[in-house]
């Protein structure tokens, strides 16, 4: 029977529930259990696809094309197991399902209410992942903080769910904060006591408290928390600030969180967790033999979460190369013809980021012209690839004012244009070309060499594409389509023949890089940048 772990948050947001959930999952997986993680987000949007990155950070796209919360990225990076639409549910989706059923007449004669209809729908979505026997343990992370008005139906659903499946088949882990008051020189437990009381008011007694803290918790303090929050002393777990999120599973192992969880769920301890590969990765990450600086040119640079997966991919690829990758974010709006040399000074490689709309586009194009001409390694992702095509069109092929029709509908040279199937689409939500598609790699190209395969699948999120009417012209001049969708001939990868590393993809490789499988394009881009740094 599938067991369920619920992770709630108290006192404040941003405690890192996603990382804690992923770390517990990692430990259980390393003991041989099959684990998945699900996140409930208590907002009304159906999914985060229509949210501005400033609001919500990056939108993470799954294999099946769901636009989801960035925590799913952590789940995949830690577990190396793909997630899907079922792993991220919002309040909007719960209500939409209930309202659709109401219109179908499924509740005929009944008043539709938060309890039981919304809570039933939440419970149904908790159960979905555990139903087909694919997982031994499902971890469900509840977004928001206990006490929020919008989280209430989720807490109530968890209370009912536990009552229904039995208390030894489920577990509540409450993540909380133990603040340090500098003036008093003390760690304070009161906010945790209050947040556990709030949970108790809703009928939930947490089994485990994971306490975020800047200082170690003494035995006395742990005893005090255990006594006032009504949990076992070994269920008070310290989660101290770590230098990298990838340390957290090992910190939780030290606290024996995996043992506590398994014994409360009445599951066998099985083997000691096998974390050999994880530790090797950490060893390489923490002991680099070289260092490079990569420029990340984008327009959401004020908010690091907007490029979360890209930054994490550089961590994986850096560790692979035993090289510290320092990523400098450069606002594309700040780059001009006059200052480009100065803005990109000292960088060993440039990544031009994904994005939407006109803002900052010319700066991206200017940066690409510079690195193409100076033979500096370049990696373009999605809009970054489209910008590389525009730049080559304008400056090599002489197509004056070549552009994407996203930015300039009347461009004389629409080298990037809207995909045919997108033209009839009116609604913005969930209608891009999303999720995994196949890409054939052309023999002998850099892309084929890097992947070491002739076919791959990669994830997408876009409406515009390379305009194949120009393909011959581009290839004759040295920009080749080294990756192409075999079904519709959409250009997936472009690269330059005569450049040390100039590769750009229409897809998002950053969504598939994990600790266990660093993405080959990132690994090779870092290697090329390292080679460039050594030559200088």
User: What residue ranges bind ligand GLN (CB under 6 A)?
Assistant: 354-356, 382-383, 406, 461-464
Hey, how many other C-beta atoms are within 10 angstroms of the C-beta on 420? 9
Task: Report in angstroms how near the CB of residue 407 gets to ligand GLN at its nearest.
Answer: 9
Question: What's the rounded Cα separation, in Å, for the pair 378 and 395?
Answer: 17
Query: What DSSP string runs through 387-448?
Result: HHHHHHHHHTS--TT-EETTT-TT-SSEEEEE-GGGTT----TT-SEEEEEEEEE-TTSHHH
| Of 141 and 406, CB closest to ligand GLN | 406
Task: Report in angstroms how near the CB of residue 501 gets to ligand GLN at its nearest.
Answer: 20
Task: Report in angstroms how near the CB of residue 358 gets to ligand GLN at its nearest.
Answer: 10
| Of 134 and 409, CB closest to ligand GLN | 409
Task: Report in angstroms how near the CB of residue 410 gets to ligand GLN at its nearest.
Answer: 18
Q: In this structure, which long-range contacts are made by residues 389-394, counting pairs with CB atoms below 8 Å and at least 24 apart in sequence?
A: 389/415, 389/416, 389/466, 389/474, 389/479, 389/494, 389/504, 390/365, 390/415, 390/416, 391/365, 392/474, 392/477, 392/479, 393/470, 393/474, 394/365
| Of 18 and 298, CB closest to ligand GLN | 298
Task: Report in angstroms how near the CB of residue 423 gets to ligand GLN at its nearest.
Answer: 13
Task: Report in angstroms how near the CB of residue 385 gets to ligand GLN at its nearest.
Answer: 8
Q: Tell me how far apart the terminal alpha carbons of the chain are, to the nearest angstrom.
A: 59
| Of 175 and 306, CB closest to ligand GLN | 306
Report CA-CA distances (Å) from 126 to 29, 45, 112, 192, 304.
20, 19, 20, 26, 31
Task: Report in angstroms how near the CB of residue 429 gets to ligand GLN at its nearest.
Answer: 14
Question: What's the rounded Cα separation, in Å, for the pair 226 and 216?
Answer: 16
| Of 212 and 461, CB closest to ligand GLN | 461
Task: Report in angstroms how near the CB of residue 481 gets to ligand GLN at its nearest.
Answer: 16
| Of 39 and 462, CB closest to ligand GLN | 462
Pairing label, strands 180-181, 186-187: antiparallel
Closest residue by Cα to residue 146 from 236, 89, 209: 209
Q: Tell me the catalytic residues.
A: 382, 508, 510
| Of 377 and 384, CB closest to ligand GLN | 384
| Of 343 and 463, CB closest to ligand GLN | 463
The answer for residues whose C-beta is within 8 angstroms of residue 461's C-beta and 6 or more apart is: 59, 61, 67, 354, 382, 432, 433, 434, 508
The answer for residues whose C-beta is within 8 angstroms of residue 212's C-beta and 6 or more apart is: 15, 16, 175, 176, 177, 178, 239, 241
Strand blocks (E) in 204-304: 208-213, 236-240, 290-298
Closest residue by Cα to residue 70 from 5, 141, 122: 141
Measured in whole angstroms, the distance separating CA 138 from the mean position of its chain's CA atoms is 19
Query: What SS3 state is found at 88?
Result: strand
């Amino acid at each position: 029977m599938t067991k369920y772990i619920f992770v709630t948050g108290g006192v404040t947001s941003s405690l890192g529930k996603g990382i804690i959930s992923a770390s517990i999952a990692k430990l259980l997986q390393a003991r041989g259990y099959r684990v998945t993680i699900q996140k409930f987000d208590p907002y009304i949007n159906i999914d985060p696809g229509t949210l501005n990155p400033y609001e919500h950070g990056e939108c993470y796209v799954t294999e099946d094309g769901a636009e989801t919360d960035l925590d799913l990225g952590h789940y995949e990076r830690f577990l190396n197991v793909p997630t899907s639409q079922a792993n991220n549910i919002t309040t909007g989706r719960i209500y939409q399902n209930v309202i659709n059923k109401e219109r179908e007449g499924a509740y005929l004669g009944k008043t539709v209410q938060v309890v039981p209809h919304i809570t039933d729908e939440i419970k149904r979505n908790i159960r979905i992942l555990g139903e087909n026997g694919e997982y031994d343990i499902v971890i469900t992370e509840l977004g928001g903080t206990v006490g929020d008005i919008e989280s209430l139906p989720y807490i109530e659903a968890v209370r009912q769910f536990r009552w229904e499946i039995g208390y030894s088949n489920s577990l509540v882990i409450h993540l909380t904060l133990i603040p340090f008051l500098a003036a008093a020189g003390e760690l304070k437990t009161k906010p945790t006591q209050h947040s556990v009381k709030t949970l108790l008011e809703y009928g939930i007694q947490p089994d485990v408290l994971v306490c975020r803290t800047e200082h170690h918790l003494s035995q006395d303090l742990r005893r005090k928390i255990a006594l006032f929050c009504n949990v076992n002393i070994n269920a008070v777990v310290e989660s101290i600030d770590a230098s990298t999120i990838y340390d957290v599973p090992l910190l939780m192992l030290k606290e024996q969180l995996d043992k506590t969880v398994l014994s409360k769920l009445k599951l066998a301890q099985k083997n000691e967790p096998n974390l050999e590969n994880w530790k090797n990765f950490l060893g390489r990450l923490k002991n680099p033999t070289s260092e490079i600086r990569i420029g990340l040119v984008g327009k959401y640079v004020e908010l690091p979460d907007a490029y979360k997966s890209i930054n994490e991919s550089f961590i994986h690829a850096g560790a692979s190369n035993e090289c510290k990758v320092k990523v400098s974010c450069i606002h594309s709006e700040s780059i001009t013809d006059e200052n480009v040399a100065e803005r990109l000074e000292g960088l060993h490689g440039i990544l031009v980021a994904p994005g939407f709309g006109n803002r900052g586009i010319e700066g991206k194009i200017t940066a690409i012209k510079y690195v193409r001409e100076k033979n500096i390694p370049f990696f373009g992702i999605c809009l970054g690839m489209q910008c590389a095509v525009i730049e080559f069109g304008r400056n090599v092929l002489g197509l004056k004012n070549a552009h994407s029709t996203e930015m300039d509908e009347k461009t004389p040279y629409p080298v990037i244009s809207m995909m045919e199937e997108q033209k009839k689409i009116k609604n913005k939500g969930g209608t891009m070309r999303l999720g995994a598609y196949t890409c054939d790699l052309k023999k002998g190209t850099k892309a084929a060499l890097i992947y070491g395969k002739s076919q791959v699948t990669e994830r997408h999120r876009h409406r515009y594409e390379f305009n194949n009417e120009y393909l011959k012209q581009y290839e004759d001049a040295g920009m080749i389509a080294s990756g192409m969708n075999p079904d519709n001939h959409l250009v997936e990868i472009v690269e330059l023949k005569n450049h040390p590393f100039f590769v750009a993809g229409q897809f998002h490789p950053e969504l598939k890089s994990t600790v266990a499988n660093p993405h080959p394009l990132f690994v090779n881009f870092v290697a090329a940048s390292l080679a460039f740094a050594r030559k200088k």
